[in-house]
Amino acid sequence: FALVQPQLRPLDSSIRELVGTDHPVLAAAAHHFFERAGKRFRPTLVLLSSAAAAGGDPADARQQRLAEITEMIHAASLLHDDVIDVADTRRGAKTAHRIYGNKVAARASLLLARLKDVQVVELLATVIEEMVQGEMMQVRALPQQLLEFEHYVDKTYRKTAALMSLSCEAAVLLGGKPPDHAEALRAYGRHLGIAYQ
């Protein structure tokens, strides 16, 4: 966290601006959710991966935008998860739920397209598909499956680690580094994501 602190600081205002909206209810929801910042773990991984693949140089503008996109995908997934879990609170406050989740997801998709990197768009689209499948695996799991380690790791990869893993890989690709660097950072993100859960 200390290594990327200077780049993490402007992230909150940048995200607030990016999801800014003319609609007063959505604007209030944006304020509500991003005021209570979490740990910023996913953007931190993206910024660290960018620096690692560039011999320590800080993330460039597109890699910083990717860091913001990962936090937005994460936020959207939590808001949807709160609908599925019928949860009333998130980060100690009343949850903003589905409408806002869709809004954040839509804005993240637009920002992703604007990075104009087909491979990175495909990686992040894969992440969203994995997250939906992971959430479904959990909802539909039979009691016996909940006790199986293989099932647990597979579910955890999809629901939690895929976003970390594939966004670390995407950060390296945006920096123009070769596939072996991207592959290494993808493995790093995967291990971290599974351990994190």
Q: Which residues bind Mg ion (CB under 5 A)?
A: 81, 85
Please identify, using beta-carbon distances, which residue of 12 and 81 lies nearer to ligand FPP. 81
* 11 in Cβ contact with 39 (< 8 Å): no
Q: Does 132 bind ligand FPP (CB under 6 A)?
A: yes
Nearest-angstrom CA–CA distance, 98 and 161: 23
Rg (CA), the chain: 17
- Rounded least distance, CB 52 to ligand FPP, Å: 25
Orientation angle between helical segments 24-35 and 97-113, nearest 10 degrees: 90
Please identify, using beta-carbon distances, which residue of 60 and 81 lies nearer to Mg ion. 81
Single out the residue of 17, 85, 129, 183 in contact with ligand FPP (rule: CB under 6 A).
85
Instruction: Please give the distance of CA 2 from its chain centroid, rounded to a whole number.
Output: 20
Q: Residue type at 84?
A: I
Residue closest to Mg ion (Cβ): 85
Residue 147 touches which of ligand FPP, Mg ion, none (Cβ within 5-8 Å per kind): none
Please identify, using beta-carbon distances, which residue of 26 and 76 lies nearer to ligand FPP. 76
